[in-house]
Structure 1
């Protein structure tokens, strides 16, 4: 089986990929993630997912490399990781009672051949009407400051929502597993045939 590399230092993406039961390595790509002028959310996450995979292709020249990037979009504006309580509070207050669309770019690059598969996946979240007290308690409890949208849907963050719309809830955490399985299978690795208890 061709070795697999996750081009990410995110523990959330590692935990998601581990669900497929495939042995994999991971490494952090060193790239500039700043948006370009007039770049749409779809263009941004596609470009960055490709860049993350390509940034590690020389060092991991025999691998299938998974690159992924995510942004949240509220009122047609890109919302990134808050990195602080204050910014997270602003993001959740702005999202209260509204719909937020998550765009996640996914790239599977075959470093041996240079060929890649690319997709942009979408998931919609409808937030409850949130009081400042609820936002404060949530942020203090879960501290989701490294998460796009300022929440962890796999934890208490699920209580922020009144409705979810999409074909793969893993998109919210940052790695679209359903689409990734399609890509891996096309590249010759079917998790339903190759899954093993021994993962790295």
Structure 2
């Protein structure tokens, strides 16, 4: 989690200030779109963010206990972004980065930075509505792979194995990999402690 900058802390603690917190969106469609929730364009770290109307909904969770999602509604009255969405196949799987920055700190780091993935998209004459969620579900297996001490997961004589000798089989163990003269390409994790789960 990012910590708020010293400039933002000082500005938010003032009784009266002419600074404000700005919401910036980076939407990585086929062409990356940079927009901000403001009445004029903003340049943050050298990148121009165009003033554009959008709404960010509250986090919602379905009754079935699915992962929480956020709705992002971008104005589509002028159809300025619809071409980008259509060219990206509806934008599903697109990365959306939401940043909050202080107007007095436009060359510094963001005070808040969140990453989302577009899960679904609906377009009508008024709104482009993205449903944003995590890039991965909290219910999926983590870590993605298994880490075993003495077992190589690579396909024998495959690209990652790299063995091209005359032997016809392999037991996928470190000892067998050494007998093949290919231990530098062993895909197991011999450094795992013997007392661990994978001993």
Q: TM-score, normalised by structure 2?
A: 0.29
- Which protein shows a greater Rg? 2
Greater RCO, 1 or 2 (C-alpha within 8 Å, sep 6+): 1
Structure with a larger share of its residues in helix:
1
